[in-house]
Each structure stands twice: as structure tokens, then as C-alpha cells.
Amino acid sequence: MTANLVNILLGGIFHAAILFLVAAGLQVVFGVQRIFNLACGSFYALGAYVGVTAVRAFTGAGGSPALFIVPLVFGGLLVGLVGVVVERGLLSFVYDSDEAFQLLLTFALVLMLEDVIRLTWGTAPYSTAGLYLVYGQVTLLGAQVPVYNLIVIGASLGIAVGIGWLLTRTAFGRIIRATADNREMAEALGVDMRWVYAKVFTLGTALGTLGGALVIPTTAAMSEMGIELIVEAFAVVVIGGLGSMRGAFVGALVVGVFRAVAIAVYPALEMLLIYLIVIAVLVLRPRGLFGGAAV
């Protein structure tokens, strides 16, 4: 019984760890640039595919299986640089446009990236097989838990702390927060918005691609994984409150754990439950649990 419960909870927390990364990317971009990036799920899928490719190339070249996490993380972060291209090449044209157009531009990205993935990696699921089990399993309260899952949960926590540190303790973080609060004033004080936007969007993209890379050893990459994840990430930020990092953290936990419990208890409820929570939050507390921005 406890073993079962631990399994369900840890499964949920593992999912939450991944969701947090993607949602954090969504939040930082929305907080600073006021753009709700529908393509964050696509970046996640891109990171997943690049992660698998990097790991396969690594083991194919004779790299030690135990070190697979190195090319995985490296590949996941590196592909995040696609964010610079997207920001400079597309988004920078629409900062003065209506929100609807910005949203539609990110939808255009969703469409394009889905086919870029199909074009590059085909439609068959793509995986690293059971490589993540090289780290073995540990027994926690009677439940068998892969060590890799614990590593990812730890890494996600570490990143959460890292982002917190970046936003509150560094000069760049101060600039980000200042821009989020009052763009004109920040600009008047000499902040080069182009650079801030490029960096912030790349940071957001890299968080998403890293999330995709980290999840992939435990599952298989599929071209639809991006458009499926975006609605979950969307649920996370709505529950937590748009633009809030703490919100992303709590929202990810809520969505991850509720989903795991729902799947275990009554599978048909799975995402239905999550969306009902989302609607309840939007109706009762539209700014989310931690949101500060006015509606």
C-alpha cells in the first residue's frame, strides 16, 4: 500500500519536475515580454529529440553509458539557442502588435516546429531504450524508484533555486524584474531592451528544451509530445498565476501529483480533473494562486 502510494507520488513529482522547467520558461517569457508562448511545448519536444540524438551519438561513439547524462544535458541546453533565432527572427517584429497577433505567431511556431521534427526525425517514436536504468533503482518505503528519476527531481529543484538566485541576487535579475514591472522606465534608465528580450527568450527556450531532454530517457520522443505538453504547462501557469515563478513551482506540483493520482484511481479523469481545476482557478481567482499582474 505505502509502496504503491510512494510510486504514485514520486511519479507525480517526477512529472512535476519536468513540467516546472517548461512552465518556468513560459513564465519568464510572459513576465518580461508579455507574450504567452504556445511554442514552449514545441521547444520541449525539440529538446527531447536532440537529447536522444546526442545520447545515441555518444554511446555509439563508445561513450560510457553511465555518463549519458552529460551529452543529454549538453544537447538539451545547446538546442535552446534556437531561442535567439526565434526571438530576433520572428518575435522582435511583433512587440508592438496586438496580443492576439503575438499569440498567433507562437502558434505558427508550433505548426512549423512540429513538421521540422517530423522532417528531421521521422514519425516513429524515438527513444534511448532503458538507458536510464544504468543508475539502478533504490527502494524507498518498499517502492522501487529509478535513481535517474530522483536525479531529475533534484536537478529541477536545483534549477528552481538557481532561477530564484538569478532573479533576486544578480544584476541581470534586477534588470529582468525592472523590465517586467515597467518597461518604459527600464528603457529610460539605459537598459537595452533588445538584449534583455533576446536573453530572456533564450533562457525560457533553454528551460523548455532541457525539460524535454531530461524527460526523454524514461519515455520515447513523439512528434505530438509538444502540443500535448503545452496544455499541461498552460494548466500549471494558470493555477500558479501567470508570470510568477513560485506559481510555476506550486502549479507544477499540483498538476503533476493530481494527474498521477487521477491516473492511478480513475484513469478516465486524468486531464479532465486538471482542466476542471484550471477553470475553477480562473473563475474564482483569475490571477492564479501567486499571480500579481492585473487581469
Partner 1 sequence: MSRLVLGVVTGVILVLPLLAPAYHVLLMLPFMAYAVIVLGLNLLFGYTGLVSFGHALFIGIGAYTGAVLTTHLGVRSLELMLLASAALGALIAAPVAALCVRYVKIYFGMLTLAFGMVFYTFLLKFYRLTGGDEGMQVLRPTLLGQDLGGIPKTDYLVGPYYYYSLAVLVLAGLVMWRIVHSPFGLCLRTIRDNPTKAEALGISIVRYRWSAFVISAVYAAVGGALLGPPTGNVDPTLAYWTHSGNIVFMTLLGGFANFFGPVLGAFVFIFLQDTVMAVVPYWRLIFGAILALVVIFAPTGLMGLVARRRPAEVARA
Among 159, 235, 252, 254, binds partner 1 (CB under 8 A): 235
Site map (CB under 8 A) of partner 1, residues 203-232, x = contact:
------------------------x---x-
Site for partner 1 in 255-284 (CB under 8 A): 267-272, 275-276, 278-279, 282-283
Indicate left, alpha or beta for 129 from its phi (over 0: left) and psi (-120 to 50: alpha).
Answer: left
Amino acid at 207: L
User: Where do we find the cell 513560485?
Assistant: 246
Minimum CB distance to partner 1, residue 186 (Å): 22
Minimum CB distance to partner 1, residue 203 (Å): 21
- What single DSSP character describes residue 132? G
Site map (CB under 8 A) of partner 1, residues 19-58, x = contact:
-----------------x-x--------------------
User: Where do we find the cell 513564465?
Assistant: 27
Please state, in angstroms and rounded to a whole number, the distance separating the CA atoms of residues 215 and 5: 22
Torsion of CA 75, 128, 20, 192, to 10 degrees: 10
Site for partner 1 in 113-152 (CB under 8 A): 113-116, 118-119
- State yes or no: residue 107 binds partner 1 (CB under 8 A): yes
Please state, in angstroms and rounded to a whole number, the distance separating the CA atoms of residues 28 and 205: 10
Minimum CB distance to partner 1, residue 36 (Å): 5
Site map (CB under 8 A) of partner 1, residues 75-104, x = contact:
---------------x--xx--x-xxx-xx
Answer positive or negative: Cα dihedral of 51, 53, 54, 58: positive
Choose between 169 and 228: whose C-beta lies nearer to partner 1.
Answer: 228
Write down the number of H helices and E strands in the chain.
12, 4
Question: Hey, what's the cell of 82?
Answer: 534556437
CB 293 within 8 A of CB 285: no
Minimum CB distance to partner 1, residue 284 (Å): 11
- What single DSSP character describes residue 159? H
Binding site for partner 1 (CB under 8 A): 36, 38, 90, 93-94, 97, 99-101, 103-105, 107-116, 118-119, 227, 231, 234-235, 238, 242, 267-272, 275-276, 278-279, 282-283, 286, 295
